Chains A and B, each alone.
Chain A
Amino acid sequence: MNKFILLLLDKIAILYKRSGVDYEQLRAIISVKLEINSRKTNGMLGQSTTGKQTSFTFGLVIYTIVGLLFALVIFFQNSALISFALLYAYIMVFIIMVLITDFSSVLLDTSDNTIILPKPIQDNTVFAARNTFIIIYISQIVLALSAGGIIFTFIKYGLVSGILFLVSLVLITLFSTNLTYTLYLGIMSFTSEETMKNTINYMQIVMTVVFMGSYQLLPRLIGNLEDVTQMLTFEDWMLAAPPFWYAAIQTLLLKQTEANLIIVLAIALAIVFPFALQFGIQKYFIPFFNNKLQDLAIQNKSDEKDKIAKSKMSFDFSSSIKKLLRLQLIENSGYLLTIASLKADRKLKLRIYPSIGYMAVFLIIILLNISRKNENWFVELNQTYHYLWLIYFCGFLLNTATFETLHSENYKARWIYESTNLEKPGMLISGSFKANLIYFFIPAYILISILILSLWGLKAFDDVFLGFFSCSLISLINTRLNQRFLPFSLPEEARTNGNNFARGLLMMLIVGVLSGLHYLLATIPYGITLAIIPFIFLFWMMMNNIQNMSWKEITT
């Protein structure tokens, strides 16, 4: 595949040479980057370890499936304006998100600079190489995403429309790529690298949720598309929304609208804007970009100092919460380590935070399912026990957090546990558990409780109260039986370990037993109220048991 891409690149070498790029150098960089990429794991979808190229291929298959689902809009919606605008919007958002997530490392990689920039290579060659590499990658994703759209357009609207779709795709890719560059430029001009990386981190979290959400929700929503308001004419406001510019081309071709000034303007924007952005980038961006990266690499050191100062302040704040938890000395170490990582480790955030978004998606799915079955669903909602799903799904957040805080890139730092004379290493586990509870679970649980109480009323109060201890208990039992590891002591690869399947089954069993028990108790008068005290007692007992775990009971 890499050879094929390089062969294609050779065909357009003349274009590079004419724009002053040293093609031989560019080819060498692209060749190496493609090789590296094929030996590395895929970023956005991938948590895969050894599959290397297969994880990227797997990603493409998923993109194709999701793209196919979305492309159904072309069949279900007869307004070309609406169907194409929706499809283009989806592709655009996806491209921008992929660029922000996977390629932030390429765009902002200062370590790469220490290899390439000391060599006799012009800035425009470095930039063209970065750009080309990104476009090669994006093109594969765009093709996968829009495969369904291409097929359906050819089938439903014919050859010319299909070809126009392909041309629009090229323009959309160029537009989205250049827009992202400009966004980067803007953010980099006004902010530090830390803020930039944090912004990207949150975008990555949103992206993961959007991806998972669209995968779950699209098939459910697609059936309702016929009900979408029929917008057949091109309105003035659509000029502000780029997907409509490209949809306008198809609309005009299919004679679903008359040619007027607005339509012509939209089509002109669709063609001119990507190139105008390209011109702006060439003129202002390239000279600025590498210098800025070099500066960022140095400025980063002083930003680190600020960061440490800030984190010290926040530790003072959390000390008041710690008092409530009655943390013991060693437990405190586990607590502080986990809190510090939850605050600062972007990769950890990326693994944990999306589960909050999944919860929102899950809530929408529940409400969609209920609303489909019954027209008076909202009135009759408070007679159901559906909130139990939400409570136990929220418990899933705590399990995710306790599982993820076992893993770290720097897992070898576990030597510090082993080199000290800890008698009860379980204290570290309980400290880490409390950190997850305080920093992650309780805020999410309070939100979900407010939602449950507002939808189901005060009758759910006991359940919410019991649910908190039940969810915590699930995590504690799971930790005791299933995850007897010290915090951050496992390598990243251990996440995909074969044993995790068996662990997952056991975990589901624990969730099944406790949530089933909760449901049964809910059907018995005063069952929940009476169960609260025993659940608190069990929680306390489990916590004590974990605190007293010895080295023999810890899996190393």
Chain B
Amino acid sequence: MATAIEVRQLSKRYKEKILHELDFSVSEGEIIGYIGPNGAGKSTTIKILTGLIPDFEGSAIVAGMDVRQHAIEIKRVIGYIPENAALYDVLTPLEFLEFVGHLYGLEKDKTILKANELLKLFGLENSRNDRMNTFSKGMRQKVLLISGLLQNPKILFLDEPLSGLDANAVILVKEVLQQLKIAGKTIFYSSHIMDVVEKISDRIMIINQGKLIANGTFAELNEQAQSGSLEQLFTNLTGTGEHKEKASQLIDIIK
């Protein structure tokens, strides 16, 4: 299977080094769950791969193109939903999606048709002409998801895509991701919702303090660590497994 993403010795430094020589590759059609504690470097990795941070060490190839040299071409074939992304919230979702379509050079009529169908699918058909400043977090997240799918990307980068979604929407997104995989799309996504990552990812990569500390299928990782669940595996590997003790301490403190 062809390689969709290839990363070699990828490092990034601001005041201090926040990514340390990452090495991994992703095949076309794979779903990668990219997980790690807060501040581990997940979003920075995704921003580098989507051409948003051009200044880094090592190499990153996405869709067969070098990120440094072909950022624009890469952006044409990927979809990206950032964490805490802004929306022009005085616009309606339809206006916003039409705008996104313009930036991708999509035809106006087709964009509106597609946007309407996607809005309907995500249960937003009655709100399509309302300004988004009245939307809940979940509704905004749905609009963002649609904006990332609008141009039919080959590779989809999702940074916390399930944040704020209600249970039905989470199930819908899980289904959408599965269907996209069947359609041959590559999905690289980070999330804190472990059971979803466990269930839908072909492969899981765990990053901690800028270092890739695990990379494999859930079964492989589970076999190595004998954890039972991804949640347990995650806490074991990222060194945050003292939750019980911390909870007891908390009770003592508030007494």
Measured CB to CB, the residues of A under 8 A from B are: 24-25, 27-29, 31-32, 35-36, 39-40, 111-122, 291, 294-295, 298-299, 302
Contacts and interface: CB of A to CB of B under 8 A. Distances in A.
Contacts of A27: 102
Nearest to B80: A118
Contact of A36 (B47, B82, B88): B88
Contacts of A35: 90-91, 95
Interface string B131-162: 10000000000000000000000000000000
Contacts of B54: 291
B76 interface: yes
B52 A117 contact: yes
A111 B86 contact: yes
16 contacts: A25-B103, A28-B103, A35-B90, A35-B95, A36-B90, A115-B85, A116-B103, A118-B50, A118-B51, A118-B80, A118-B82, A119-B75, A120-B73, A291-B54, A294-B52, A294-B53
Nearest to A116: B103
Given A114-B82, A119-B75, A122-B72, A24 B55 contact: no
A118 B75 contact: yes
Given A35-B90, A115-B88, 13 more contacts: A24-B102, A24-B105, A31-B99, A32-B88, A40-B90, A112-B86, A115-B87, A118-B50, A118-B51, A120-B105, A291-B55, A294-B53, A295-B55
A31 B98 CA distance: 11
Contact of A39 (B73, B90, B102, B105): B90
Contacts of B72: 120-122
Contacts of A39: 90, 131
A75 to B, nearest CB: 43
B24 interface: no
Interface size class on chain B is: 20 to 34
B100 interface: yes
Contact of B76 (A24, A120, A294): A120
B127 interface: no
A119 B97 CA distance: 13
A117 B78 CA distance: 13
Contact of B14 (A111, A118, A298): A298
A117 to B, nearest CB: 6
Contacts of B95: 32, 35
B99 A28 contact: yes
A28 B102 contact: yes
A48 to B, nearest CB: 15
Given A24-B105, A36-B90, A114 B85 contact: yes
Interface in B8-57: 14-15, 44, 47, 50-55
A335 B179 CA distance: 56
Contacts of A294: 47, 52-53
A192 to B, nearest CB: 11
Nearest to B131: A39
A121 B104 CA distance: 8
A115 B104 contact: no
B82 A120 contact: no
Nearest to A110: B86
A32 B52 contact: no
Interface of A is mostly: helix
Given A28-B99, A114-B86, A36 B104 contact: no
A118 B148 CA distance: 10
Given A118-B52, A120-B104, A295-B14, A32 B91 contact: yes
Contacts of B44: 298
Nearest to A119: B103
A119 B100 contact: yes
B87 to A, nearest CB: 7
Nearest to B47: A294
A115 B86 contact: yes
A223 B32 CA distance: 75
A410 to B, nearest CB: 16
Contact of B91 (A36, A111, A113): A36
A25 B76 contact: no
A299 B18 CA distance: 12
A123 to B, nearest CB: 9
A332 B255 CA distance: 24
Nearest to A121: B103
B85 A120 contact: no
B102 A25 contact: yes
Contacts of A119: 75, 100, 103-104
A542 to B, nearest CB: 38
Contacts of B73: 120
A40 B91 CA distance: 11
Contacts of A29: 103
B72 to A, nearest CB: 5
Contacts of B52: 113, 117-118, 294
Nearest to B102: A28
Nearest to A117: B52
Contacts of B88: 32, 36, 115
B112 to A, nearest CB: 14
A504 to B, nearest CB: 30
B241 to A, nearest CB: 26
Nearest to B39: A301
Interface in B53-84: 53-55, 72-73, 75-76, 80, 82, 84
Contact of A299 (B15, B87, B90): B15
Contacts of A31: 99
A112 B87 CA distance: 8
A302 B99 contact: no
A305 to B, nearest CB: 11
A32 B99 CA distance: 7
A442 B133 CA distance: 41
A174 B24 CA distance: 49
Nearest to B12: A298
Contacts of B86: 111-112, 114-115
Contacts of B76: 120
Nearest to B77: A120
Interface in B84-129: 84-88, 90-91, 95, 99-100, 102-105
A121 B90 CA distance: 23
Contacts of A36: 88, 90-91
Nearest to A38: B90
